[in-house]
Amino acid sequence: MQAKLKETAETMPAANANNGHLPALSAKDYASDQEIRWCPGCGDYSILKQVQTTLAEERIPRENIVFISGIGCSSRFPYYMNTYGMHSIHGRATAIASGLKAIRRDLSVWIVTGDGDSLSIGGNHLIHLLRRNFNVNILLFNNQIYGLTKGQYSPTSPKGTINKTAIYGTIDQPFNPPALALGADASFVARGLDADPKQLREVIKRANAHKGASFLEIYQNCNVFNDGAFAALTDKSVKKDRTITLQHGQPLVFGANEDKGIIMDGCRPRVVSLSDGYSKNDLWIHDENDYYKATILSRFFGDENEMPRPFGVLFETNRPTYEDALFAQKTMALEHGKGNLDQLFRGKDYWEVS
């Protein structure tokens, strides 16, 4: 990895996924020769496949890609990618990725993490990466459990979850990852589902296309320690009544027969029936660039409200990335100091003692 990453951002051209000079690649070209060590039936397999397929479709050069992970089942991801990567330490993948991106702006950097890794020990690092807006892609696998350490409750486990570390049921209020990301001023927030590969691939592409910190929460089933955690959202008999696919500029319609919608009743959302005199023209139109509406959408969360769980891009905005601002500041500082490091350190206010 070090040999390939030797050149600096100043001398390397920016990676261009559509430069037209790359040979056609398949998903298999992005798969390593390592044996995949996840439990049979794990949702991680689906996510891995969609990421590999997306990279192939976007024709991103493998030598320009780095996957960085922390600790957890999801963190084995870099081993299975035929790209550069690092299996780092618990909760610190975000910090390591920030350091790499600060000096190599040209690289396509992906952070693979779990709900325990990123929202417990790594929570502080995550929120600071989001507010700084490094141009990286964060894939947060949320299975609402600690899988690698065999089934303890995690920061996203619903209240009342009974397991090895909560024999009478959890009493913690679970984290709401998209709401947390929006609170940290993330410039891109989305949600996908391992059991819906087409939709998942679409949001991965959107995350990759975004310049800035893209935060993608992926509901992922742990079929050993938390099987069926998202059954209410994946069961075909109820899925369309309990989920809604967000499309920019389109009304919020859902239901098995697309006969339900959401309106804004003052400042509060409300579910209405399209058979009760409401039409699609009366409904809330999704606007990915509206932070306030995105915040409301992020609160469609938990079994206690009747709102469907949203999937797709909740929010996207454009603002300067940290590494671009850092590079501009560095250039300005070097010009001010005329390349003299001692003079740069001294600045204008200093004393000479004889």
Please give the pLDDT value at position 330: 85
- Contact residues for 99 (Cβ-Cβ < 8 A; gap 6+): none
Residue ranges of the chain with pLDDT lower than 70? 1-22, 303-305, 337-341, 344, 350
3-class SS of residue 51? helix
**Looking at the domain covering 27-229, what would its CATH class be?**
alpha beta
Q: What token pair was written down for 214?
A: 């893209």
- Look at residue 303 in the predicted model and tell me its pLDDT: 61
Cα–Cα distance measured from residue 104 to residue 210, given in angstroms and rounded to the nearest whole number: 17
Catalogue the long-range contacts made by 122-128 (C-beta closer than 8 Å, 24 or more residues apart). Answer: 122/70, 122/90, 122/91, 122/92, 122/93, 122/94, 123/91, 123/155, 125/91, 125/92, 125/94, 125/95, 126/94, 126/184, 127/180, 127/183, 127/184, 128/94, 128/184
Q: What is the largest CA-CA distance in the chain?
A: 89
- What global pTM score does this model have? 0.89
| Spatial CA neighbour of 163 closest among 227, 117, 118, 120 | 227
Q: Is-contact 103 6, C-beta < 8 A?
A: no
Among 79, 131, 136, smallest CA distance to 107 is for: 136
Q: Could you tell me if 204 and 126 are in contact, meaning their C-beta atoms sit under 8 angstroms apart?
A: no
**74/141 Cα distance (integer angstroms):** 7
Tell me, what's the pLDDT at 347? 73
pLDDT at 258: 93
Distances (CA, A) of 251 to 178, 264, 279, 310: 21, 12, 10, 13
Q: What is the pLDDT of residues 252-292, one digit of tens each?
A: 999 999 999 999 998 899 999 998 989 999 999 999 999 99
> Could you read off the pLDDT of 323-354 as tens digits, one per residue?
999 999 888 877 776 666 677 677 777 677 87
